Structure 1
Amino acid sequence: MRTPRTAAVLVPLMLLALGCAPQNSSTATDTSASSGANQTPADCAQGKTMKDGVLTVGTDSPAYDPWFSHNDPTNGKGFESAVAYAVAKQLGFDHSQVTWTKVPFNTSYAPGPKHFDFDINQISITPARAKVVDFSDGYYNAAQAVIAVQGSPAADASSLADLKQYKIGAQTGTTSLTAIRDEIQPTSDAVVFKNTNDAKTALANGQVDAIVTDLPTAFYLAAVEIQHGTIVGQFQPSAGQQEQFGMLFEKGNPLVACVNRGLAALKSSGQLAAIEKKWLSDTVDVPVLQ
């Protein structure tokens, strides 16, 4: 769900309508007709936030690079922090009008009322989640990546089949965990961790042979958080569809349409691509696991 500037992501940004699973554009919430077709995103957002004059944005803690810089969502640095503030500006909120709140990843997509206007935390758009929450259009597409310790047997794997014999873990509730079960299909049950921090600690301590996260997070963990960490490879779901991250909302939130207008404006102006290039675009040759 985070990478030093010298190592970043292979995966190109594709703005279609998801920390992680295949998704088609029909799963993101289509609320384009909920307000006037000619309204600006700022006009659309008036009166639709939890607090007048304030945009409340959620994310988890710790908030890893390259999504957030120095575990501080408020500084506008890191891909998702920068995207959140760019969207906020589109909605008519300046930096001082954005408030951040902690939202544990595993509770973000649970049904029921939310204490944020939207959550941005590498949350994959999936049909199951979209039944109980709403998503914006996708703002980023990500591959899954396998991390191991250099010199370990798992580090030498060159295919998904090679990984079947190993003990592999991921954070609970993530599409990384789903990818282990559906794509790698190890002979022993996937090891489930409360969060990515616990997963990387288990790998460093030899409790698991490998862990799976999204590719940008894998770069950061392997380079900074895990001593002698290495990225074994990356892979996409067998359906061949890109996994998409989307901003998450309480079901029925009318602000979704406004955020989608803001994202569309950021796409058409090239600003969203520029944010991705700044924080995520260095190319590293990571092998693809088939």
Structure 2
Amino acid sequence: MTRLSPRSSPRTSRRVGRRTAALAGAAALLTAVALTACSSGGGNGGNGSSDTVTDGKLTIATGQPAYSPWIDDNKPESGKGFESAVAYAVADELGYKKSDVVWTRSTFDSAIAPGAKDWDLNIQQFSITAQREKAVDFSPAYYTTTQAVVTTSKSAAAGVTDIAGLKGLKVGVATGTTSLTVAKDELGTTPQVFNSNDDAVLALKSGQIDAVVTDLPTAFYMSSAQLDDGKIIGQFADDGNGDKFGIVLPKGSALTNKVKTAVDTLKSDGTLEALTKKWLSTEVDVPILK
């Protein structure tokens, strides 16, 4: 006669189910811990943790194209040009060799928009503003500039020497820049807004506008390299609240405090002052617009 196996009671089934669930949960927890340990074990050249988008590398973005005096010859990897030199100085403070720095490109507007980024730092004359700080992190200012006015010898603005002479003229600015605010405040007019400084220059060449408002170093490049007959009318007075440029980082970046410390160090030890004199020394010759 065949003996039939007794059926399990409901209570026994529940105990077995609970044990199975507990064992599965413990296994999942151990797996997660192991994966976390593996992912945090890679070095990044600076501190041995995964603070960067690529372990062991520091990815720095700039504009496309990038212009002098910020980046010479559109080659940030050369270390020539003010912002290229600043970027490498910051990288060095973070513990990265020049060979560990990877350059990439981004648009101006996308860099300061909310969301994930495929770079660690971005440097392309970003003015530090409270509105932008809601979406991204900033380093302390590595440079403070005034705004200037560029025109051509054939423009209606060619003979202007003061702010009063600019009022009523057609002025252009690049979108997303402090130049827009300055043009409105200083000239009491609503300027024409362009997608980039390059587009504003083209409009100036074609006679669509009479002048361009931009930061002073960019004004030098426009007048000497982009315009055959370009000239800087003057710069607006520095009231102590000039346009402060900061390095942009993704919001909540693990590098933010380290970059802040790096920039503060470069200020205190004189490095930023030396780089400013080397790459931006021509600014003192531009008259103040009154």
TM-score (norm 2): 0.80
1:160 shift after superposition:
2.1
Alignment of 1:48-197 (within 5 A): 48-186=51-189, 189-197=190-198
1:240 shift after superposition:
4.5
1:42 shift after superposition:
4.1
1:254 shift after superposition:
2.2
1:117 shift after superposition:
0.6
1:118 shift after superposition:
1.1
What corresponds to 1:229 in structure 2? 230
1:249 shift after superposition:
1.1
For the 8 Å contact 2:77–2:103, the answer to whether it is kept is: yes
Taking a change above 3 Å as real, the CA distance of residues 203 and 88 of structure 1, as seen in their structure-2 partners, is same
What are the superposed Cα offsets for residues 85-109 of structure 1, whole Å, 9 maximum, x if unpaired? 1111111111111111111112211
For the 8 Å contact 1:204–1:227, the answer to whether it is kept is: no
State the AA in 1 paired with 2:198. N
Aligned counterparts of 1:240 and 1:271: Cα–Cα separation in 2: 21
How many residues end up aligned between the 2 structures?
246
Runs of 5+ unmatched residues, structure 1: 1-40
SS in 2 for 1:116: coil
Q: Report sequence identity in percent.
A: 48
Aligned counterparts of 1:284 and 1:178: Cα–Cα separation in 2: 23
Of structures 1 and 2, the one with the larger relative CO (CA 8 A, separation 6+) is: 1
Q: Which stretches of structure 1, 4 residues or longer, exceed 4 Å deviation after superposition?
A: none
TM-score (norm 1): 0.80
RMSD of the alignment, in Å? 1.8
Alignment of 1:16-35 (within 5 A): none
Aligned counterparts of 1:86 and 1:240: Cα–Cα separation in 2: 26
Aligned counterparts of 1:236 and 1:129: Cα–Cα separation in 2: 24
Runs of 5+ unmatched residues, structure 2: 1-44
What corresponds to 1:219 in structure 2? 220
SS in 2 for 1:282: helix
State the AA in 2 paired with 1:118. L
For the pair 1:250 / 2:250, whether they are aligned, the reply is: yes
Greater percentage in helix: 2
Aligned counterparts of 1:269 and 1:240: Cα–Cα separation in 2: 22
Aligned counterparts of 2:110 and 2:60: Cα–Cα separation in 1: 15
What are the superposed Cα offsets for residues 20-53 of structure 1, whole Å, 9 maximum, x if unpaired? xxxxxxxxxxxxxxxxxxxxx944x843112110
SS in 2 for 1:258: helix
Aligned counterparts of 1:236 and 1:120: Cα–Cα separation in 2: 25
